[in-house]
Amino acid sequence: MAPTLFEVQPKPGDLIEIERTMYSHWAVYIGNNEVVHLLPPGEDLLSMMDSSCAVVRRQRLSAVAPLGFRVNNLLDGKYAPRRRDVIVAEACKLLGRTLHYDLREYNCEHFATSLRYGKRESRQVKEAEDTALALGAVAAVALGAAFFAALLSGEGETKEKEREKRNRQGRRY
């Protein structure tokens, strides 16, 4: 089970990862048990895929993540985080705004990482794309192998038919 606010005290500017059924939701902690996050109209995957806009909201962390969360400043090793006061100020400036939303190009993780690092990235999208590429490669190899096997099988059948034809012709004479 993920930790709750009673077990972990995030610092302002920290990225908060909240596990959902098929994805993680991301928010920026701003202090006082509050987060700022980007929310499409519905939180189920289908409505997220359908939505082209989302609203920046401020909510209590305990309401957004009643079952727990984790502090996950996932790109600290790759990028230098911005100052905590700058992250919080930028997050608060965006409150109430409706922003473009796209599951692949600008989702809640892109929003959160852009506030913390000044660069938008979504590890979830990258992992999904990598998985899709890997599955596509496996499918291509499997199709290629099946085609090659069919080709060899067909070639063998053709040679066998030619042999039978010669044998029949040889018997006629």
Pairing of strands 24-31, 70-71: unpaired
Cβ-based neighbours of 117, under 8 Å, separated by 6 or more: 75, 79, 80, 81, 82
3-state SS class at 103: coil
Is residue 25 part of the annotated active site? The answer reads yes
Phi–psi pair at 18, nearest 5 degrees: -120, 115
Is residue 108 part of the annotated active site? The answer reads yes
- Tell me which of 37, 92, 100, 110 is the catalytic residue: 37
Query: Cβ distance 12 to 83 under 8 Å?
Result: no
- Tell me which of 53, 92, 100, 108 is the catalytic residue: 108
3-state SS class at 39: strand
Residues marked active site are found at: 25, 37, 108
